[in-house]
């Protein structure tokens, strides 16, 4: 009887130490600690976020889920404002609450806040749209932008994703990665071609990245979009790690080859200013 009481007391003490509902190991991702229905819902939600709108049948096919299941997921997310339905073309879109939640995530870090005045000055100095992006897997996630006042301009609203190999910021970040880590990252998906200038050969990309690191800035030379050119430089934190990239982008007629050196210097200066604000050493 005494042993039973001691065991029960020990169990209660252990429970108090962990806290109610807290698992023994926080990194335990075994099946018993996942909610399959929630996982399926997040798959639909994340896939929808990569599109400019999708039908129910498209989402069901792309996520390999039953249309009835996907419909229930969408209706549930719609009630929370995370997705919305356009009855005309019968398309589902990401909803406004998704942006609000994303904005709350961005407030966790001082990067975006500290970058705003730097981006504004960069836009004013160059006359072109200034962008801030961070790595998200093999993509660049654009998190902030200051648009130029010119009528023709590049536009990457916060939340836009772009493949790293076809992005100025992406290549600026890739160039700072160790070769092994870079190869591992690029192996997660094929080097998709977007224009005739896209670097889809791994050796050609490696050569471009070596040149990027040597000169301190990357160029997206109409590699993602015909008629648009981008110049980017990495932003470092206090540990010397490239945590973001700054860029200017615009039509290739304005961002012409003869302007590249001056624009690149402005971008590198802005990236150094933001790096210093993030605690990077000179």
Count of residues in the chain? 282
Q: What is the mean pLDDT of residues 120-130?
A: 95
Query: Nearest-CA neighbor of 233 among 159, 174, 150?
Result: 174
Please say if the pLDDT value at position 207 is more than 70: yes
Query: Nearest-CA neighbor of 218 among 282, 165, 178?
Result: 165
Spatial separation of the C-alpha atoms in residues 70 and 41, rounded to whole Å: 8
Tokens 């929630």 belong to residue: 38
> What does the mean pLDDT of the chain come to?
86
Classify 93 as helix, strand or coil.
strand
Spatial separation of the C-alpha atoms in residues 199 and 205, rounded to whole Å: 6
Considering the entire predicted model, what is its pTM? 0.65
Please say if the pLDDT value at position 62 is more than 50: yes
- DSSP lists the bridge partners of residue 251 as 228
What domains, with CATH codes, occur in the chain? 35-95 (1.10.10.10), 109-277 (3.30.450.40)
Tokens for 85, please give them: 């339905």
Please say if the pLDDT value at position 9 is more than 50: no
For the chain, the C-alpha Rg in angstroms (whole number) is: 23
Q: In angstroms, what CA-CA distances link 65 with 37, 53, 78, 191, 204?
A: 11, 18, 18, 27, 39
Please say if the pLDDT value at position 56 is more than 80: yes
Contact 48, 94 (CB under 8 A): yes
Please say if the pLDDT value at position 32 is more than 80: no
Q: Which pLDDT tens digit goes with each residue over 90-116? A: 999 988 888 777 766 655 557 888 899
């Amino acid at each position: 009887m005494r042993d039973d009481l001691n065991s029960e007391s020990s169990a209660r003490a252990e429970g108090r130490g962990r806290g109610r509902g807290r698992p023994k190991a926080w990194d335990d991702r075994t099946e018993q600690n996942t909610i399959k229905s929630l996982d399926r819902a997040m798959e639909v939600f994340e896939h929808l976020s990569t599109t400019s709108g999708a039908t129910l049948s498209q989402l069901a096919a792309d996520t390999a889920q039953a249309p009835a299941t996907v419909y229930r997921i969408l209706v549930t997310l719609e009630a929370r404002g995370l997705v919305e339905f356009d009855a005309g073309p019968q398309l589902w879109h990401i909803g406004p609450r998704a942006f609000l939640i994303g904005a709350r995530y961005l407030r966790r870090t001082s990067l975006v806040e500290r970058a705003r005045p730097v981006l504004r000055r960069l836009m004013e100095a160059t006359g072109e749209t200034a962008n801030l992006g961070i790595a998200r897997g093999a993509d660049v996630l654009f998190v902030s932008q200051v648009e130029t006042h010119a009528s023709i301009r590049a536009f990457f609203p916060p939340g836009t994703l772009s493949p790293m190999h076809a992005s100025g910021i992406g290549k600026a970040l890739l160039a700072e990665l160790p070769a092994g880590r870079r190869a591992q990252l690029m192996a997660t998906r094929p080097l998709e071609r977007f224009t005739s200038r896209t670097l889809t050969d791994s050796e050609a990309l490696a050569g471009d990245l070596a040149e990027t690191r040597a000169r301190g800035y990357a160029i997206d030379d109409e590699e993602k979009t015909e008629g648009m050119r981008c110049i980017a430089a990495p932003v470092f934190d206090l540990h010397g790690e490239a945590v973001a990239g700054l860029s200017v982008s615009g039509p290739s007629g304005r961002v012409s080859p003869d302007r590249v050196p001056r624009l690149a210097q402005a971008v590198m200066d802005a990236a150094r200013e933001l790096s210093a604000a993030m605690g990077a050493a000179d």
